[in-house]
Amino acid sequence: MNAGTQSRPVRAAVDGLLLLNKPAGLTSNQALQKVKRLLNAKKAGHTGSLDPAATGMLPLCFGEATKVCAYLLEADKTYRVTGRLGEATDTGDADGEVIDTADIPALDRDDWDRVLQSFVGNIEQVPPMYSALKKDGKRLYELARKGQVVEREARPVRINWIELIELSGKRLVFRVSCSKGTYVRTLVEDVAKAAGTIAHTANLHRETVGNFRAEDMLDLPGAEQVAAGGAEALRARLLPADSALSDWPSARVGQADAERFSGGQRIGPGAIPQGLTGYVRVYDEADRFVGIGELAEDGRLAPRRIFR
């Protein structure tokens, strides 16, 4: 080693999920890198990015658990949203500059609730200019920062339910469950438009992703406090990879079939219980999670992701 140089820390093969309660002011990747260092982990990824100003559940995946990231992107999400009525910003949230103001109609709580409920179901949204979507190879937010506005096609999303929490002056607070791809900033703007005014998202907190529970989140100071006892202490708080797929059907197979599956071969059809369709979690006789399989029409199970 040359004088003055330092050896890099040896990273460990860490497997599992950590549900971070992301603080405001950090990008999703910055939050990931902080926790990755605390765990001294080799491989890491996150799923379902949050804007820097947003807070809440950010599933961080380490090692083998990075293989479930793509499936978590498909999960429904729940948010607690605070909208500021009567003011629009160029970004749709509190980080932007106010570009317009408007009167707020004299609607009572029941009126606002009716407006909110009109958005439940399958709707279409026009993505905001301040988003990571690409147009001709450029991120929309890059164009927006240059003052450019380009045409965006409306995209289908699904609002499962909306619950009005608070209505006070310019403050509108609600909780919403929605499908992947939903832009809450756009939802706030569209709700305000339907009520006859304008608005922006003043605060956004993601409470759940898929079947993960809010009470299982760990905030960054909490993670740092646990890791003060050593990386192993924080690793003990990780969730297994298959916890991300807890709402999927599962199948347990014999050892020989488990070995064939882990070797990339199809198994079945006799090995798989009847009545299962689509993607399934696959376990061996010792109840070890060995991977994600997809059932074909002939009843055979094809490996899609293998977990070591």
Q: Catalytic residues, which ones?
A: 51
Residue type, 3: A
Closest among 288, 276, 268 to 248, alpha carbons compared:
276
How far out from the chain centre does Cα 248 lie? Answer: 18
Q: Which residue blocks in 153-230 are alpha helix, DSSP H?
A: 184-195, 220-227
Reply yes or no: is the peptide bond before residue 269 cis, omega within 30 of 0.
yes
Lookup: tokens for 200: 């922006």
What is the rounded CA–CA span in Å between residue 291 and residue 282?
5
Closest among 91, 89, 108 to 99, alpha carbons compared:
89
Q: Are 71 and 247 in contact, with CB atoms under 8 Å apart?
A: no
The partner residues of 28 in beta bridges, in order of sequence, read none
Residue 150: helix, strand or coil by DSSP?
coil
Closest among 176, 155, 177, 174 to 75, alpha carbons compared:
177
Residue 299: helix, strand or coil by DSSP?
coil
Closest among 12, 71, 22 to 44, alpha carbons compared:
12
